[in-house]
Structure 1
């Protein structure tokens, strides 16, 4: 078994390493990393560790930002001195948290919990997006999507709409390309900047900058055309028309 420690305080990292080795001297610690930036770089360039110990507050931001920038398939045990952060992180499935100063017995229990749930590998990215948004009040500005063996990153300005179809959700780029994403439209509506995106009906969230034309439609509804020639004409539902017009003026 090997693990990765993400911790910006040298003393805390050394103490955690000692506790891990005391639990099991055969555990290999692959690396100790201090920042969000370097963690993302390491995860993109190295084989996945079996387990990650991750401090919530790092030198350059909250560790939840790591999940905004790369896909993390490894189980995570968060470490923190702040209860309000820990409690939010604890609500995520298949992970645990440790409050500093870390107690040996609590660390032992967390690793045992990991071993019992080892089959649960990947945590949905929207879970961390929701936590990050609740802590920082920042809106989501990029999407990391796995396409086959490749990882694609789309900035929010590259997206003209999000839509749902047959129980799945999709991101559509300004070029008209569609990519499946692991978010519901309800989740997206809470994560996206309401100045930039509006949910025109049950199935579509559209970008303000992607709208090329708006046409009066039957029964006091509106028809919206987006920039991409591949996009379909979209109908603003009757109950959304008033708010949609206000959104256009805001």
Structure 2
């Protein structure tokens, strides 16, 4: 079980971005994971009464960073961003690369470079808390589009999650759960766990909820992009069981692009 339990608040930003605030109960330090929209983040801070001390940026895309200037002006939060993002992230105070450690109060995260969606993407893995902030690399029942580099790069990034404990809680940058579920069912229609999760996603949407966060165990059982070694997924893309997982992943990602 995690030794430190952060307080975490999730909320929608823009149309389908997921805003996340994480607070260290020991020190009161609080981080926003990306700032897709200033208004939504500031509203969540007001509702919780938390004081923002940090902004942890997963990647440079505008729908993850455009709210930073307004939020920083009102909170003076420290902005940490991937070094590879260069000047694309505004008002950066510190840059990070693979192997660096960032802290939010007493909470510490390893920085993973997880390219594929884009070259500068990073994931923040808070091991003691059992929490990973995966941005647009890993989604509930899905993964990010490959926008920079070959698909095999994203497969390598996703593969880094597989050895983590099944109870690892994963926060992603968007709520694409229903569309991801439809594709996953097309790729693996006989997966009973997947059918149950797809039904749960429908119920959650009807109730105004979303299935973010998720757990690694749930994703390993239902997310086709983490299941590229499964015989059923190889067959779904016309390959033999035991085919190269990177090739299966590539075929699945290309299918999803057209879906």
Does TM, scored on the shorter chain, surpass 0.5?
no
Q: Which has the higher strand share?
A: 1
- Considering Cα pairs closer than 8 Å and 6+ residues apart, tell me whether 1 or 2 has the greater RCO: 2
TM-score by length of 2: 0.28
